Amino acid sequence: VNWMDLTWQQIAALPDDTVAVLPLGAVEQHGPHLPVSTDFVIATEIAAAAVAAVPSDVPCVLLPGLCYTKSDEHHAFPGSIWLSWDTLMATLVDIGRSLQTSGISRLLFVNGHGGNSALGQVACREIRRRFGLRTFFTHPGVPVDQGGSGSAASELGMGVHGGHGETSLMLHLRPDLVHMELAVARVPEVLTEFRHIGFGKRTSFGWTSDDFGPDGHVGDPTGATAEFGKAFVEGAVPALAEVIGEAHRFRTQ
Amino acid sequence: VNWMDLTWQQIAALPDDTVAVLPLGAVEQHGPHLPVSTDFVIATEIAAAAVAAVPSDVPCVLLPGLCYTKSDEHHAFPGSIWLSWDTLMATLVDIGRSLQTSGISRLLFVNGHGGNSALGQVACREIRRRFGLRTFFTHPGVPVDQGGSGSAASELGMGVHGGHGETSLMLHLRPDLVHMELAVARVPEVLTEFRHIGFGKRTSFGWTSDDFGPDGHVGDPTGATAEFGKAFVEGAVPALAEVIGEAHRFRTQ
Amino acid sequence: VNWMDLTWQQIAALPDDTVAVLPLGAVEQHGPHLPVSTDFVIATEIAAAAVAAVPSDVPCVLLPGLCYTKSDEHHAFPGSIWLSWDTLMATLVDIGRSLQTSGISRLLFVNGHGGNSALGQVACREIRRRFGLRTFFTHPGVPVDQGGSGSAASELGMGVHGGHGETSLMLHLRPDLVHMELAVARVPEVLTEFRHIGFGKRTSFGWTSDDFGPDGHVGDPTGATAEFGKAFVEGAVPALAEVIGEAHRFRTQ
Amino acid sequence: VNWMDLTWQQIAALPDDTVAVLPLGAVEQHGPHLPVSTDFVIATEIAAAAVAAVPSDVPCVLLPGLCYTKSDEHHAFPGSIWLSWDTLMATLVDIGRSLQTSGISRLLFVNGHGGNSALGQVACREIRRRFGLRTFFTHPGVPVDQGGSGSAASELGMGVHGGHGETSLMLHLRPDLVHMELAVARVPEVLTEFRHIGFGKRTSFGWTSDDFGPDGHVGDPTGATAEFGKAFVEGAVPALAEVIGEAHRFRTQ
Amino acid sequence: VNWMDLTWQQIAALPDDTVAVLPLGAVEQHGPHLPVSTDFVIATEIAAAAVAAVPSDVPCVLLPGLCYTKSDEHHAFPGSIWLSWDTLMATLVDIGRSLQTSGISRLLFVNGHGGNSALGQVACREIRRRFGLRTFFTHPGVPVDQGGSGSAASELGMGVHGGHGETSLMLHLRPDLVHMELAVARVPEVLTEFRHIGFGKRTSFGWTSDDFGPDGHVGDPTGATAEFGKAFVEGAVPALAEVIGEAHRFRTQ
Amino acid sequence: VNWMDLTWQQIAALPDDTVAVLPLGAVEQHGPHLPVSTDFVIATEIAAAAVAAVPSDVPCVLLPGLCYTKSDEHHAFPGSIWLSWDTLMATLVDIGRSLQTSGISRLLFVNGHGGNSALGQVACREIRRRFGLRTFFTHPGVPVDQGGSGSAASELGMGVHGGHGETSLMLHLRPDLVHMELAVARVPEVLTEFRHIGFGKRTSFGWTSDDFGPDGHVGDPTGATAEFGKAFVEGAVPALAEVIGEAHRFRTQ
């Protein structure tokens, strides 16, 4: 069920433990081979499929996805349209406040863009404290630099943006928008010199995508396949449906 | 052409006098008979059709629509998800800044929600002054309280929200989401007592939709028809395409 | 009656449906022939005269005018002292909040500067929603680009700043400050090429005054007369007094 | 010379070491006997007289006074219209920025309201650092709690608001607005118990005027006279004219 | 070497690839058995020891620790002094800006409070983008809910606040401040019902510490020992010294 | 007693008229002879000694000092780490809000950095108004430009930063950090030309330390002695203890 399709009276009639699912994407450069919509497509497609797959005794509703988010790490490239940290935070807080006054008490972010993860968690706490909503933050798949899979071996664990995983997903979801003829490997091998600092390591670092070169992506999309993307989606959708179920019944005492 | 479908290099290659078209909608209550998506549906449908209708020598690109906007006047009703004035302003300014760094110099807002009009004009000036973009602000149809047509006579010029015009448009665009059986006339006739103050009059007034009663809409949707909506769209699309053409060649000296 | 002349106990004793009238002006360039005070003089003079003309059974009070407002469109010229959008908005909201705690429930802005109109309407809604005041926004005369009269034919509907109307008003109100010998016509005729975009047209555009040339004004002051100004004032004052009366008794249900 | 009376070209032609003089007042309760305009009247009258008294070889210009300022300490009383600290700070910074772009490099605040003193000094530094202006902050008379005179002995050094000094000044400047029949002494004698903490003592304290009782003023206006007020003005005006002269030639190396 | 002990000329003479190390702590409740300083003590002690252990060819400098940080999750308990998200973000950004103007280009946060992790990463990116500093974010030990060790088995992976690890560290570092007689196990076993949502799981959730009960801590401190704390420190210090070394020579191309 | 050493339950058990003492310092250049910690050392040392000297029937608690404060006047020198005015204000307000929820109703700032004085007073009022705390603001010694002693005659009343007083204090408190061999007199004698404008005079001025030359300090440290510093401390500590006592029993009616 889509929030956007309902009247205000239908929304008022939703059970108050309904889980509102909010996909977060991005409008940002994804290298020469992928469209700027990549993260948004992935988040909204998987979220919509998961909402459809949830058992009927779990009330949930799909909010319209938010595509303009925090892509400041890609500021140096044309095509990236990004909100500053305080604008995105204000947006998420405003949405949380509106849900409260709409009688909704559970909010799950489904985030397709790794650059939103940190601020999203700040927002989850703020919305919980100020408006009392139970808030949850998840990804269609766990980002590579946050411990997720989806990498090609050639990526050395650094396929964080426009690499094997995302390219495969787009080959499955929107093959018309993928330019495999322009796909090249861009893995910052120099990072292997560092034991402690790096993607997914003990010490994180503040980076922008132009730190790694002029192409914009970080990873190796050359071996991406629609099959891998399809398998990823087929795993992610039921897993996300389970997350929604847990969000519905979640309690801490 | 859709911004979201392009790679960053394709966007970088756009002519710098390309007109970026940004639909603005709302997620807000529209009375018992219309979905909360009403304004967003209208703005995005008409904007997309107009972009498609623009002659090929006018470079333009469609940005993804912004649905979470400023619906504070509907704060009292469930279903309205709204940004505060400063959040929306910050969002629009951030988008303007991102377009500048993307090499775009012309931005046209196509606004389906009257509550965004005033702030949108503030943003147009701010973006022009700070980032140098030529900015434009228009509506799929002129809002009733801003001099537009689309009213039924029974609305006494007050069909500003969920009335004859919007209901007809939705009967044409998304008839599956319209509940005509719940449509009732809600025209605040008391306002006819005032000569100077009122919708579209010399003196405007600050209102929220609960000022007029518990239903949420202001207007008379009972006579709405898909035919009227279709005719409206057929007039609005070419007119908007012309606006895009003018925005492309607009100059002030 | 002037707010500034009262003690706090006298203000506390005002009827709570008293209309507080707040003139908004500007400190901004008005071309080579008019002083930077132009908008402020017009707003304060007409507001004061209207308050004096209101029948005694309509309680109203004149607040001190706000001259530092939003003149960002004139930022490129010396003499313009302007608040950014958020500063002016915060100022208006703070005033609304203070009126609430002073027991006042009706606030009418009388705005002499077109550049304040959009933000002023945003403020009217914010103050209504947050503090419950009935808020109203009007002009001494309707601005030319918002459908008003006061133009010379030679202005082609574009006498928006320092043109026939404002110059005539100043010739009537403060002739000592008008330099007719420096008055020249500056009408951006190029705008007539555009059917949809322009002052007062369906599509507005974000402009700053240096977009039109180095003089600063937009209009044709060469035919301005004190007689025209006098007639304008004689029409505007009783009309504004009527607006105050309506603001006093205004209701929406 | 008044800024408001000039055209932008006249302002552009001012010498760049011109001293811009900005009176700061307040709209705030001043007890049962004085109007809410008290601080504004004092600041603007004395500033205007001083500007008129400055020798002709000292270029200076009078800005329109700012009456809506920071009166949060009087928030509990009707009649007080106050800006929050960040709104006033933003206003002063915006004015400083506008003066810079107007070619003015020296700004003197003449402050009639003690509650502005602290923030005014913060603004002076901010404007100097960000915009390079030489900034100065003074009072028509030094506030009692900042070491100034103007007290009656009966005030025990605590005539900080609506006491002997301000009442005398208003008896001289605007006797029509003074209600001596309502003037009563309100001196918080309990403060004499404290050696270190108090008005003008080593340790300041955060107070609001309702901390001292329901009347609003702090001081003893009962012995105020127009003669004292006149003498105060006659001393303050030439002193302020000298301050303007010093501001004109001030240097630090 | 401590920043605080240097003169400005000594700081100006630091190599520009000097790593500035900034400990982040908290002032927040840690249950009945630990002082509110716990996170700050741990971060500052380990950071200081690591700076002292760095080889002499790695230039680094210790900044004074920041104890007032973001403890909004503990807002419900006395003793917690916390900055809101925007205040902390502004603080970190201001520090980054100041380091840039001090000629420092590498900044390492050593964070003892898990509640700062998300915002700290947002700050790392902001500071890199705006001021060009290489920024790094690490912990004395990895937080339990971010994949770290330090847990007791009885904590079921949920010893996130005032549990085995932190209590052991404090028994080693500041035994005088630990009240073992008040230590009780508070492990929210109900969370084991959830497969996807929980501390350190795929889906994070927004929590405040009062969600888990009235004591404030989350974990099992009952088996904590100074020996465990000592061993933790002895492992953490050289590891952090290595991180500093890597931060000094870190590069991305 | 130190806040940081207490558990939340111990803090909850403090009497609600406990005086919380918050030292404010700075991290800022102090000329070639003093460390950047100067103000922080002085404020924290004297505050701690005073808290220790308070009679046992006066409940008070020492908060951890805030070293990152508002040193914008020293922005031009390496070593200064400073918060902008709004960041510091937000920090102080957040602390006040946290104390309120911790059950503390009296807050005394002990400020070692003159540049914090003005904003600190703004904060005192804001915290009083919004959270109801009694707030107080004092200095270890009164700043020279705010009427205090501690000057050498050679300073002509202008030893405001790194001069005789502060250098003597540091020779007493942290002689290891003082470089007397680099101490030179830097007194801006040019200021004696001005009768009204200057440090501690009727008219204050906005300055940054680079206005006075390239060294950074303002004063004459050449005659500073540890003996003078010791005597200063021996006077300041009992005086501050008395202030704490007064803050405990302070009332306004």
CB pairs under 8 A between C and D: 163
Beta pairing partners, A81: A27
Per-residue pLDDT band for A144 (boundaries 50, 70, 90) equals low
Per CB-CB distance under 8 Å, the chain B contacts of A177 are 5
The CA angle B218-B219-B224, to the nearest 5 degrees, is 140
Q: Does B103 touch chain A (CB under 8 A)?
A: yes
The first and second tokens of residue C253, run together, are 């249900």
The answer to whether chain B touches chain E by having 3 or more C-beta pairs less than 8 angstroms apart is no
Question: CB distance F30–E40 less than 8 Å?
Answer: no
The rounded distance, in Å, linking the Cα atoms of D49 and D237 is 6
Question: CB distance D94–C68 less than 8 Å?
Answer: yes
* Shortest CA gap E246–chain A (Å): 7
The first and second tokens of residue E86, run together, are 């925007």
Residue E18 near residue E204, CB atoms below 8 Å: no
B219: alpha, beta or left? (left if phi > 0; alpha if psi -120 to 50): left
SS (H, E, C) chain D: CEHHHCCHHHHHCCCCCCEEEEEECCECCCCCCCCCCHHHHHHHHHHHHHHHHCCCCCCEEECCCECCCCCHHHCCCCCCECCCHHHHHHHHHHHHHHHHHCCCCEEEEEECCHHHHHHHHHHHHHHHHHHCCEEEEECCCCCHHHCCCCCCHHHCCCCCECCHHHHHHHHHHCHHHCCHHHCCCECCHHHHHCCCECCCCCEEEECCHHHHCCCCCEECHHHCCHHHHHHHHHHHHHHHHHHHHHHHHCCCC
Percent of chain B with pLDDT over 90: 94
Per-residue tens of pLDDT for chain E, all 253 residues: 999 999 999 999 999 899 999 999 999 999 999 999 999 999 999 999 999 999 999 999 999 999 999 999 999 999 999 999 999 999 999 999 999 999 999 999 999 999 999 999 999 999 999 999 999 999 997 666 666 667 899 999 999 999 999 999 999 999 999 999 999 999 999 999 999 999 989 999 999 999 999 999 999 999 999 999 999 999 999 999 999 999 999 999 9
Phi, psi of F135 (to 5 degrees): -125, 150
Full-prediction pTM beyond 0.95? yes
Which ranges in F36-192 belong to alpha helices (H)?
38-53, 85-101, 117-131, 164-173
The rounded distance, in Å, linking the Cα atoms of F39 and B213 is 61
Q: How many CA atoms lie within 13 A of D232 on its CB side?
A: 29
The rounded distance, in Å, linking the Cα atoms of C229 and C166 is 8
The rounded distance, in Å, linking the Cα atoms of D237 and D42 is 11
The rounded distance, in Å, linking the Cα atoms of B129 and B93 is 11
- Segment 4-33 of chain C within 8 Å of chain B by CB: none
Per CB-CB distance under 8 Å, the chain D contacts of C103 are 78
Beta pairing partners, C20: C61, C107
Residue D63 near residue D24, CB atoms below 8 Å: no
C-alpha Rg value of chain A to the nearest Å: 18
Beta strand A204-206 with A106-111: parallel, antiparallel or unpaired?
A: unpaired
Q: Does A90 touch chain E (CB under 8 A)?
A: no
The answer to whether chain C touches chain D by having 3 or more C-beta pairs less than 8 angstroms apart is yes
Angle between helices A226-249 and A164-173 (to 10 degrees): 90
Per CB-CB distance under 8 Å, the chain F contacts of D150 are none
Tell me: pLDDT of C73 over 90: yes
pLDDT on residue B5 = 98
pLDDT tens digits for F229-245?
A: 999 999 999 999 999 99
Please, which residues have CB within 8 angstroms of residue F83's CB and are 6 or more apart in sequence? E90, E91, E94, F68, F69, F70, F91
Residue F249 near residue F54, CB atoms below 8 Å: no
Q: Does F185 touch chain D (CB under 8 A)?
A: no
- Segment 32-51 of chain C within 8 Å of chain D by CB: 32-37, 40
The rounded distance, in Å, linking the Cα atoms of F141 and F237 is 10
Per CB-CB distance under 8 Å, the chain B contacts of C138 are 196, 202-204
Q: Based on the number of CB atoms within 10 Å of its own CB, is C227 exposed (0-12), middle (13-18) or buried (19 or more)?
A: exposed
Tell me: pLDDT of A180 over 80: yes
pLDDT tens digits for F63-88?
A: 999 999 999 999 999 999 999 999 99
> F235, F193, F188: which is closest to F207 by C-alpha?
F188
What is the helix, strand, coil percentage profile of chain A, to 5? 45, 15, 40
Per CB-CB distance under 8 Å, the chain B contacts of A30 are 7-8
* Helix, coil or strand: residue B159: coil
Per-residue pLDDT band for B6 (boundaries 50, 70, 90) equals very high
Strands (E), E8-71: 19-24, 60-62
Tell me: pLDDT of D144 over 70: no
What is the helix, strand, coil percentage profile of chain B, to 5? 45, 15, 40
Per CB-CB distance under 8 Å, the chain E contacts of A122 are 85, 118-119, 122
* Shortest CA gap F209–chain E (Å): 13
Neighbouring chains to A with at least 3 Cβ pairs closer than 8 Å: B, E
Question: CB distance E7–F91 less than 8 Å?
Answer: no
Residue among C136, C188, C194 whose CB faces B205 most closely: C136
Provide the ipTM.
0.96
C-alpha distance across the termini of chain C, in Å: 30
What is the helix, strand, coil percentage profile of chain E, to 5? 45, 15, 40
DSSP state of C4: G
Beta pairing partners, F24: F66, F111
Residue B144 near residue B168, CB atoms below 8 Å: no
pLDDT tens digits for B166-175?
A: 999 999 999 9
Tell me: pLDDT of B217 over 70: yes
* Shortest CA gap E26–chain A (Å): 16
CA E249 to each of CA A197, B154, B238, E56, E236: distance values in angstroms, whole numbers, following the listed order = 11, 75, 60, 14, 20
Per CB-CB distance under 8 Å, the chain F contacts of E67 are 4, 64
C-alpha Rg value of chain C to the nearest Å: 18
Q: Does D100 touch chain C (CB under 8 A)?
A: no
The rounded distance, in Å, linking the Cα atoms of D91 and C78 is 18
Dihedral over alpha carbons E158, E161, E167, E169 (to 10 degrees):
100
Per CB-CB distance under 8 Å, the chain C contacts of B247 are 197, 203
